Homo-oligomer: A and B are copies of this chain.
Amino acid sequence: MKYLRNTWYVAAWSDEISGDRPLARTLLDTPVALYRRSDNTTAAILDRCPHRFAPLSAGCVKDNQVFCAYHGLGFDGTGTCTHNPHGPIRRSMDIPSYRTHEAHRAVWIWMGEQQQADPALIPDLSYLAGAPETAFSKGNMVAQGNYEIFVDNILDLSHTDYLHPTTLGGAGITGTKPEVHETDDFVDVTWFVPNQSPSPLLKSLFAELPEKTDTFQRVRWYAPGVMRLVAGSMAAGAPEAEAMANFNAHILTPETATSSHYFYAATRNFRVEDGELNQQIAATREHIFGTEDKPMIEAIQNRMGDAEFWSLNPLLFSIDAAPVRVRRRLQRLIDAEQGDPC
């Protein structure tokens, strides 16, 4: 499968990567070994020794290098062979490496041309970095579905009314026309639902909410699969500045053509010192994502089989405005990178 390569993907949450053992993770069909140096910087190299093709992730990290568990060859984070117990070191022993950059509690990886890997291009998720521990939670999972199906899922929040009717949904997104706004850097989609009962989940968490609220949800998509989602509710008619708001991130990184790494996180602007509430939110999200979203994405992948999305003639509704623009835009980016003249 063709992926956008000159872009930042999330490879892992920061705390998944240690200085003891490399983390093995398949990204864009490529096995990658990720580890941390003693100066706390991160490194990513091809997870395959060039000698006999053992996974380097089976080895250990020592002195900022990874040592192969099979014959002891050592490599630093640039892929340079630094140690060969069986003879001289030659540059033909070097392996591919990938630029990484740590930001917003995540380790980002650039799997294209290294020279283009500018950290300034990482989407701004700084609200995650600054969140207190009692108002921050995160998680990740692998789902057996293409990442674009997952991106569609977040860009079209009308699904919450049907897939999550007893929790996130029920607040009447359906029937609300999403407003889509495109810039060179991102695509925004906003859903504003005035004067409605709060969602069942909000009601159960916050007895103090008014009967009727105005609700807004704003998703900002950065190619290829990083999304910020701000969801807020305030008393009907009140200004947005008064909203109880959750600041989420939904991040998709392709594992293979038919499987994805799904990273998610959230913080909020209310009861930020309530650690118990924080745990409740995290547990509810794990439950919803694991038992509702993930099975649906995987079932869709199953029904699509090997078919290309557009070849199946999907119906297009107003709710699809953002997903469709994003799919087309991403395709143009990939085509441009591939030098595809079409």
Query: Residues on A close to B: CB < 8 A?
Result: 31, 47-48, 50-55, 58, 67-72, 84-87, 92-93, 149, 152, 156, 158-159, 161-163, 174-175, 295-296, 299-300, 302-304, 312-315, 317-319
> Which of B47, B50, B54 is A296 in contact with, Cβ under 8 Å?
B54
Task: Contacts A72-B174, A175-B85 given; indicate if A314 touches B53 (C-beta within 8 A).
Answer: yes
Sample of 16 A–B contacts (CB below 8 Å): A31-B303, A54-B300, A55-B303, A69-B162, A70-B159, A70-B300, A71-B158, A71-B162, A72-B161, A72-B174, A85-B161, A85-B174, A85-B175, A86-B158, A86-B317, A86-B319
**Least CB distance, A120 to chain B, in whole angstroms:** 34
Which residue of chain B has the shortest Cβ distance to A58 in the bound complex?
B299
Most buried by B among A71, A304, A314: A71
Asked if residues B317 and A51 are in contact (CB atoms below 8 Å), the reply is yes
In the complex, are the beta carbons of A313 and B70 less than 8 A apart? no
Please indicate the chain B residues that have their CB under 8 angstroms from the CB of A295 in the complex.
58
Does A53 contact B304, Cβ atoms closer than 8 Å? yes
Contacting pair A70 B296 (CB below 8 A): yes
Query: B315 touching A54 by the CB < 8 A rule?
Result: no
B51 contacts A314, C-beta separation under 8 Å: yes
Q: Which residues of B contact A299 (CB under 8 A)?
A: 54-55, 58
- Tell me the bound Cα distance from A85 to B70 in angstroms: 57
Which residue in chain B gives the minimum CB-CB distance to A93?
B315
- The listed residue (B52, B156, B312) touching A300 by CB distance below 8 A is B52
- Minimum distance in angstroms from A62 CB to a CB of chain B: 13
Q: A162-B69, A319-B71 are in contact. Are A53 and B303 (CB under 8 A)?
A: yes
A213 to chain B, nearest CB (A): 21
Which residues of chain B come closer than 8 Å to A72, judged between CB atoms? Answer: 161-162, 174
Most buried by B among A51, A86, A156: A86
A164 to chain B, nearest CB (A): 10
Cβ of A322 to closest chain B Cβ, rounded Å: 13
- A53 and B313 alpha carbons, distance in the complex (Å): 10
Name the B residues within 8 Å of A304 (CB-CB).
53
